[in-house]
A and B are shown apart, each in its own frame.
Chain A
Amino acid sequence: MTDKTILSVDNLALSYGYNPILKGVSMQLRRGEVVSLLGPSGSGKTTLLRAVAGLEQPHAGSVTIAGRTIYDAAAGIDIPAEKRDLGLVFQSYALWPHKTVFDNVAYPLKLRKVGQGEIAERVQAALKNLGLGHLAERYPHQLSGGQQQRVSIARALVYNPPVILLDEPLSNLDAKMREEARAWLRNLIVEMQLSALVVTHDQSEAMAMSDRILLLNGGVIEQQGSPQEMYSQPQTYFVADFMGSNNILKGRITEICDGEACVEVAGQLRLWGRRRSDAAIGQEVKAVLRVEQLHLADGPGEHRLAMDLATSMFLGDRYEYVFHAGDTLLRAWGKRPEAAGQRWLEFPPEAVWVF
């Protein structure tokens, strides 16, 4: 733990009844950093966030914020949620419907016994900062989804918590607004130099928004690293599969040479790829190849295979080609529409990961 660390979770474990949800999770958040908790639905992301916030009851491990231990099972420390001084933006925004926008944002300051004048000043500043200056007197139900989200962020930031937690902050916005909001939110966090822990199930959202990603799977951290590392150096099949759009071929290793393995798929196709696990000759494996790494080739050659193109789909900025490979489908991207028929495809061995 360095002195830049602002949030540190150590070996946190939590169960619902006899059902373990978090099985010993450790992570660190540094000052001014955005970390995403990524994972499939049910992997325990929300539970981890809520345990940090003090809304769920872990049974082992510890949590430290800015050098202050707020939870430690061994030492019997468990600071209640309201004393942890954290900001949390709820997935549903959780604005209080009986309070105006102003009163929603002012409430944390009122609880901290800030004077009336200063409250008005700070709330107005916070609202203005988020482009909500003119909405102070409205009630939450009179706002659009995007505005509600901003109010809930303003409420979580107004008392300058050392760490802000966001649970799927973009999931309640419609698809088009989501990309804009993503950029806006990243910009806001960077500009205000916040330290943020963001839960999301969307890998592109996680990559776009964060400095580091923690990939959760079944209550344990599968891998963590920068978005680039997570994308281009997955350590397990789960990570490779979860990040990005992939072609997945199931087969058997027939040959191993240095760091490369030859995989025979469905008894006919043979392709070379990088070994990413210690699977031996004869073992069943999966070969993973990012869609953008599979290219059309102009003719036969090394690492090239002939396949049947079934159809081309127009995606707006590109075309997607769908090939039959035995009983699975392969996808590749290109700039032009292609007629159906046999084509050559290139499988660059450095881009094929064998797990």
Chain B
Amino acid sequence: MLQTLPRRAVVALLALSVFFPLGLVLWQSVLSGPFFMPSAQLSLESFVFIFEDPDFWMATRNTLIVAVGMSVIAIPLGAVLAFIMVRTDLPGRRWLETPILIPIFVSPVVLGFGYVVSLGPVGFFSVWFEELFGYVPWNIYSLAAIVVIAGLTHVPHVYLYSSSALRNLGSDVEEAARLSGASPFRVARDVSIPMVSPALLYVGVLVFFLGFEIFGLPLILGDPEGHLVLTTYLYKLTNKLGTPSYHLMAAVATCIIAVTFPLVLLQRALLKSAQRFVAMKGKSARQRPLALGPWKWLALAVIALWLLLTIVVPVSGVALRSVVSSWGTGINLLEVLTLDHFRAVFEEDVMIRSILNSILIGTFGGALAVGGYLLVGLATHRKPDGLSRLVDYIVLTPRAVPGLMAGLAVFWVFLFVPFLAPLRSTLFSVWFAYAVVWLAYGMRLIQSALMQVGPELEEAGRLVGASRARVSLDITVPLIRNGLLGAWLLVFMIFEREYSTGVYLLSPGTEVIGAQIVSLWASGAVDVVAALSLINMLLVGSGLALALRFGVKLHD
């Protein structure tokens, strides 16, 4: 009995952390005003309001275009990339693995900013292109550009899932196709990729609902021409009416969740069936890479072009922009080099605080979050009962809630739960929101580490007289030390990258770089944004370097 008590407490706390903020959003959406106002009544008027707003429908339409468009771009590209990396003899595969995954760890708001300064109307690359060819054929502020960029930056997600599925496939099926006369790319199209279609379907759903949640890219790229998506529409609602229009924001949030939550459930069902598929196949035969022959040049060119567009162009833009005072046609960049922007950053307390806070939340906050995820993981580890199934669903739920709204919900919680109110303007509120938003990600890291521990090692502990808790403490946790270190580094990077969750929690004392960039961008302080963006990338980069140094796998 005693041992089940802490287990239930952990699960109860988890359920409360997830469902209370979410419940608050749903509750708020059916009130006529902010829920703390005595005059607020049950009503559907918030839904009536947004449904009558033409902007809402435009945002919905754009969101759908973005979600569909980026799936159409990211899925085939990611699948082909995975095939090339996993199943062929492409030279330099080992070195390409890390760069391919980088876009996952770059903050989308930094990325968006990078595209503006590189490919915007007066961006570095646009200017060079114009000097060379006399015109600029692209418009970075168009909806099409947003779709393409969102698609290209989500290729790594597809790559992750399809490459691990491909790794489990025996190479005999491919060799058979090769012998019957298929070229490497026919083999990929006709044999390998269809055989990993369960994984592709799974990741297809993932990318589609990520399309409903993207915020940083459309915020920065969609603003000049007024292309709203649902998340940016929600963000702009604040200014629309002047007064805190919490009930309207909640109504928009509810609409988004109504789409994403079923998709998350669908995804879970797909994963279950994909696992059955793999389990049935059993251990795969030895793998022999497919010889690409002259095709390797085409493959290398495609990968290089993609890396150029998704990493080199935006990242170099940010780096360059942070060290020049002016730019444009006819300016020699070497003459305008400056460190003033960084000086400006380090002269302001707010900026210094946001950098320190970011570091704190990544290091201590990351460790604390991993500790929390570990507790949840241990509470359900090898106990396939009702409580564990419940945890499965609780963990998935935040996935359906975009970070922006999760941050808003947590803000409300800290604003109106009396004993939590003093914590609102401390870093704790930001940490709590981050930990909840990344719950599913963190739990996957912890669970895959826990699954590595042979069950008989734990059973041996039970047999010689250790209770469940003792076994966790003395056997399980020491055995997954490396997994925990890896999880901590990955969570560090993810927390450094995070920006939208902190937007509504931004207040004196809770500044973090990501949210600070969003707020500064609105005020047009481009110089400081550039310097902060670079600092942000350096923080993520140092996490990445450490992770690579310790041999942490960036994926499972």
Contact = CB atoms under 8 A, between A and B. Distances in A.
A159 B466 CA distance: 13
B4 to A, nearest CB: 11
A86 B457 contact: no
A94 B464 CA distance: 12
Interface stretch (A77-85, A129-137, A197-205): A77-85
B460 A88 contact: yes
Interface in B17-52: none
Contacts of B456: 90-92, 94
A53 interface: yes
Interface residues of A, number: 28
Interface size class of B (residues with CB under 8 A): 10 to 19
Contacts, number: 68
B478 A54 contact: no
A156 interface: yes
Contact of B459 (A85, A87, A90): A90
B190 interface: no
Contact of B457 (A55, A84, A94, A159): A94
Interface in B459-498: 459-467, 470, 474-475, 478-479
Contacts of B478: 98
Contacts of A88: 459-460, 463
Interface in A69-117: 80-88, 90-92, 94-98, 107-108, 111-112
A96 B457 contact: yes
Interface in B421-462: 454, 456-457, 459-462
A111 B466 contact: yes
A83 B465 CA distance: 6
A107 B479 CA distance: 15
A142 to B, nearest CB: 17
A82 B457 contact: no
A290 interface: no
A81 B463 contact: yes
A91 B460 CA distance: 11
A155 interface: yes
Contacts of B460: 88, 90, 94-96, 152, 155
B463 A53 contact: yes
A88 B460 CA distance: 7
Given A92-B454, A94-B454, A98-B478, A108 B464 contact: yes
The listed residue with most A CB atoms (<10 A of its CB), out of B462, B465, B479, is B465
A111 B462 contact: no
B466 to A, nearest CB: 5
A82 B475 contact: no
Interface in A132-180: 152, 155-156, 159
A82 B474 CA distance: 14
Contact of A54 (B454, B462, B467, B474): B462
Contacts of B457: 94, 96-97
Interface of B: 454, 456-457, 459-467, 470, 474-475, 478-479
The 4 A-B pairs at the shortest CB distance, nearest first, are namely: A108-B464, A81-B462, A94-B456, A94-B460
12 contacts: A53-B459, A55-B463, A80-B467, A82-B461, A82-B463, A90-B456, A94-B454, A95-B460, A96-B475, A111-B464, A111-B465, A152-B460
